[in-house]
Structure 1
Amino acid sequence: MPISLMLLLVSFPSQESNAQIAVLEVIKAGVKKVIKAVDLKIQRMQNETIWLQNAQKVLENQLSKLKLQEIAGWSERQKELYGNYFQELWKVKAAISYYQRIKEMTSLQLALVNEYNRAWNLIRQDEHFTLKELNYMEEVYSGILDASLKNMDQIMLVLNAFNTSMNDAQRLKIINAAADEIQTNYTDLKQFNNQNVMLSLQRSKSTAEINSVKRLYGIN
């Protein structure tokens, strides 16, 4: 980190804190917006699925009443019509599974932001860390958050992909890649937080000091 930036952090801690809080709120608001959008899409797709499933049941009931020779005598138009029903049903079910997965990913993304916010607020209260160490931690946290924002971009790409010619295999590839990255980001964040807590405990010089650190981080 440049010396000028370090001096700025020292001179204006309240401004830095307020800026970080503002950025976090923007990120959280964005994630919540995505979750809400996905919820609405899931609801709409589920309604379409119910309609298609009901239509499927009607068709299956009608088919069961027909004799084989009558089925063989169907016109090409009838075959195409009923075939489209089943094809649309499959497409809607596949879309719902995509959106459900995306919703799980965005929920994990929100948990990541909340975990960062909680840990960073506690660490800044911990007297066992130097300013240099806090600056390093902030850089690590910023890197994780930046990576998570890129994952959000991938999620939005998939959300918009249903209006494009992207096929199922391409969508699934993007979804799985983004899901793996988000899980990695969250795991890295948790591990980094645990390492910092353990370091603080190791630097504690008395039982009272250890208990104070445990209370700060909510450790039983």
Structure 2
Amino acid sequence: MKILKYMKKYMVILPVSTMSLFVALPKGANAQIAVVEVIKAGVKKVIKAVDLKIQRLQNQTIWLQNAQKVLENQLSKLKLTEIADWTDKQKNLYSEYYQELWKIKSAITYYKRIKDLTAKQVAIVDEYKWAWNLFKQDKHFTADELDYMEKVYGGILEESIKNLDQILLVLASFKTQMSDAERLEIINKAADQMDGNYTTLKKFNYQNISTSIQRAVSLYETAKLKEIYGIE
């Protein structure tokens, strides 16, 4: 079976970070199922966490926006001379409202971006499950070829768990002193890795599908395989 050389990097068992979402997995085919379930559980956890944080931040934003409007209305009623007589405390308070509002809006933007990345992770898992379930039943692949596929998928799924670790790191970063630049760097890196994993997975699946179709012995079998794999 003709396989792209760069696929080999996904056959390497990668070290699991301390933030990883699983600890011990069974070997063989069951390991693939276990990894997928772990990723699915992790994805659901991230989505739920993001949803809750977005809702909480949006509520805070509404409160700050309302407070800002009240403050602005009061300002509009003041005369210029009265504005000039503001105390430092009032000026600082007004400034803090804007600063807090900016921080919250910035955080909401991050969380929404993370939610988009999580959706891509879901797509990776779904693409894997769809293809692997079909390949295992396809008589055109040998046991050795299926074993090779399993190793490649295992590497991609290991990478996926690392991506989830990065997402969780950004979620946790809002409790630390991490800068916006650092958060953005982590998010962009995770996004690039997810895009790369998804592209690699799609290419790998397409190559396997093409191999199966090429091994068909009749036009009917070819047509049937295209129907099964959704090839027009």
1:189, 1:63 → 2: CA distance? Answer: 58
Match of 2:207 in 1: 195
Aligned AA (2:113)? R
Instruction: Give the CA deviation at 1:66.
Output: 2.0
Aligned AA (1:137)? M
Is the aligned partner of 1:129 residue 2:136?
no
CA-atom RMSD in angstroms? 1.5
Aligned AA (1:133)? E
Query: Pick from 178, 182, 192: which aligns with 1:180?
Result: 192
Equivalent pair of 2:29/2:150 in contact (CA under 8 Å) = no
Correspondence 1:62-141 to 2 at 5 A: 62-141=74-153
Instruction: Give the CA deviation at 1:76.
Output: 0.5
Per-residue CA distance 1:67-102 (angstroms, 9 max, x = gap): 222222111011011111111000000000000011
Instruction: Give the CA deviation at 1:48.
Output: 0.6
Query: Pick from 204, 213, 216: which aligns with 2:225?
Result: 213
Q: Which ranges of structure 2 fall in alignment gaps of 5 or more residues?
A: 1-26
Aligned to 1:201, what secondary structure does the other structure show?
helix
1:201, 1:68 → 2: CA distance? Answer: 80
Instruction: Give the CA deviation at 1:16.
Output: 4.0
Match of 2:181 in 1: 169
TM-score of the superposed pair, with normalisation by structure 2: 0.84
Q: Which ranges of structure 1 fall in alignment gaps of 5 or more residues?
A: 1-14
Aligned to 2:139, what secondary structure does the other structure show?
coil
Aligned to 2:137, what secondary structure does the other structure show?
coil
Match of 1:151 in 2: 163
TM-score of the superposed pair, with normalisation by structure 1: 0.89
1:19, 1:170 → 2: CA distance? Answer: 34
Instruction: Give the CA deviation at 1:159.
Output: 0.7
- Of all paired residues, the percent bearing the same amino acid is 66
Query: Pick from 39, 42, 52: which aligns with 2:64?
Result: 52
Equivalent pair of 2:61/2:101 in contact (CA under 8 Å) = yes
Instruction: Give the CA deviation at 1:21.
Output: 2.1
Aligned AA (2:91)? K
Match of 2:34 in 1: 22
- Say which is worse superposed, 209-218 or 17-26, in terms of deviation: 17-26
Aligned AA (2:136)? R
2:121, 2:220 → 1: CA distance? Answer: 36
Aligned to 1:125, what secondary structure does the other structure show?
coil
